[in-house]
Amino acid sequence: MTILFECTYRGDRYFGFGLPKADQPLSLTPLRNLDLGKLLAEGGDIAVLLASAETVTVPVSERDTVSFRPPLLPGHLGDAVVGGFMQTHNVKVDADTPSQPNWFLKGLGDVLRTTGEELRAPVGSVALTEEAEVVLVHVTDAEGIPRYVGYTFGNDLTDIGRFRRHRGHLSYAKLCDAAVAPWLFLDEPPRHVTGHVTIERDGEPCWRGDFTTGTKALHYGLDDIMSELFSYDALLAPGRVHYAYIGADRSSFHDGFRMADRDRVTLDFASHGVTLSNTVRCASPTLAAAAHEGS
């Protein structure tokens, strides 16, 4: 299985392969003017390109100066669309389950956060929860056809309390940042993904739970829901990168836990060796009012 990542090092853009280990040097290839998303959408072989390219080795002592980026994130953040599907998993099926799941928009490329960055939530969020998910990445080619190029993993932070209070407010409930792993798996979507969530408050663990996701856990056929989504021309501008969160298992909210401002959420996708850790940041109404008065 090939895993691709992009990063910045000493002010320049690079790409590399594999899941980097913190205690080992990092081998990088200069990105220069190469558009990896376009190359993948056109069926190009990155491995052939890599074989003839120069590489840079980052020593372990400088690993903390490397900044990993969301996979294939365009330079112009408006060229990325981040969205997903609601209540897709078998564990959430009930008598009211529709034939096509609700799709939601989280935002453009600026809502994506990698591990270590804060996840912003709106002021006045009712009840925030994590959602550990598989994230599909598509790149729209020059003819306006969305091409699947791989998958990664993410945390679809959601104000589930607002959705529960008013079912018509799904669109508002989803307007939180989304965590995404920088590793792009150049393979078919995974059938079975397992892992666990740890939430810390004031540096101490306060909730822990397991999750199961992947296409095997879905109530819907993945090809069906993606075909329906991409039947709308409004989404298909050439060069646009789509990040589709395909739904989550039960979360801490379903266990009765209530997340708070500054809680740290760590998702360990143990079956695939990927970890995402982010602090939730929700400005209080008092701070927001003070900032407004001072402007």
- Tens-level pLDDT at each residue, the chain (295 residues): 899 999 999 999 999 999 999 899 999 999 988 899 999 999 987 776 666 578 899 999 999 999 999 999 999 999 999 999 999 999 988 878 888 999 999 999 999 999 999 999 988 899 999 999 999 999 999 999 999 999 999 999 999 999 999 988 999 999 999 999 999 999 999 999 999 999 999 999 999 999 999 999 999 999 999 999 999 999 999 999 999 999 999 999 999 999 999 999 999 999 999 999 999 998 654 444 444 444 3
Could you tell me the two tokens for 70?
Answer: 């969301």
Nearest Cα to 120, choosing from 110, 131, 135? 110
- Domains delineated in the chain: 3-68 (no CATH), 77-287 (3.90.850.10)
CB 126 within 8 A of CB 193: no
Confirm whether pTM is higher than 0.85.
yes
Distance (Å, rounded) from C-alpha 248 to C-alpha 281?
22
Residue 123: per-residue pLDDT: 86
Number of Cβ within a 10 Å radius of residue 6: 21
Inter-CA distances, 126 with 19, 34, 60, 123, 250, Å: 36, 43, 43, 9, 18
Residue 50: per-residue pLDDT: 67
Query: Residues near 48 by Cβ (< 8 Å), separated by ≥ 6?
Result: none
Phi-psi domain of 140 (left: phi exceeds 0; alpha: psi -120 through 50; beta: other) = beta
Distance (Å, rounded) from C-alpha 264 to C-alpha 278?
6
